[in-house]
Structure 1
Amino acid sequence: MSNRKPYIREVKRTWWKNNPFYRFYMLREGTVIPLIFFTLALTAGLLCLVKGPEAWQSWLNFMANPLVVAINIVALIASLFHAHTFFGMMPQVIPVRIKGKKLSTGIIVLGQWFIVAVISLLALVLI
């Protein structure tokens, strides 16, 4: 056994603030916080729908609260930001090749946004 004391580097709670890459990473990962509220509110809405008209109306009244609307707008912006960063990384993670040629990253990203737009339009038409 060695009597030497191992070097343990001190890591502060704000270690990520010193590097722009890590600040951006923490911002991206922080987008989940408003999405948690949105998911819980949506789940509560489904439970209220099952319980009956009175519970459903109380949930609708809750969702009409200006603070809840503001949080949902923040959640929408956060999810769009998260999607933008995810779609930007996708061509690097999974390069698409067609007939041996690597597809342009711009085409892949635009294709993903096109699919999001089509699905959103379908949801609007069906609802």
Structure 2
Amino acid sequence: MSNRKPYVRQMKRTWWKDHPFYRFYMVREATVLPLILFTLFLTVGLGALVKGPEAWNTWLEFMANPVVIAINIVALAGSLFHAQTFFSMMPQVMPIRIKGKLLDKKIVVLSQWATVAFISLIVLIVV
């Protein structure tokens, strides 16, 4: 047996800040934080709806708070950013072939955004 210690490379907590790819990845993954708050707000609103009109009105007043509105706007921006990065990766992850030809990446991404717009329009009409 040897008494030598193996080399252990030092790793700072902020190692990812030095690399643009990892910095972008961390920002993308951080978009989940305001979405968690948004989901909690909606869950509390659902509970308030079940409890009755007084609880519902209290929740509506809470949702009108400027801080909550700002959190919801950040959550919307984060979800759109997350969707954009996901949609842009889609043609590379799952290439679509029609009659042996690879479908153009722009068509795949634009069709996904068109689907999102269509479903959003349906939801706006129904609700």
TM-score range normalised by the length of the shorter chain: over 0.9
Structure 1 CA distance for aligned equivalents of residues 87 and 3 of structure 2: 52
User: Equivalent residue of 2:70, what SS?
Assistant: helix
User: Equivalent residue of 2:11, what SS?
Assistant: coil
Structure 2 CA distance for aligned equivalents of residues 21 and 92 of structure 1: 17
Aligned letter for 1:119?
I
Within 5 Å, give how 1:45-84 maps onto structure 2. 45-84=45-84
5+ residue gaps, structure 2? none
Taking only the aligned residue pairs, the percentage that are identical comes to: 70
Partner of 1:85 in structure 2?
Answer: 85
Within 5 Å, give how 1:1-127 maps onto structure 2. 1-127=1-127
5+ residue gaps, structure 1? none
| TM-score normalised over the length of structure 2 | 0.97
Q: Over aligned residue pairs, what C-alpha RMSD do you find?
A: 0.8
Tell me how many residue pairs correspond in the alignment.
127
Give every structure 1 segment of 4 or more consecutive aligned residues whose post-TM-superposition deviation is greater than 2 Å: 1-4
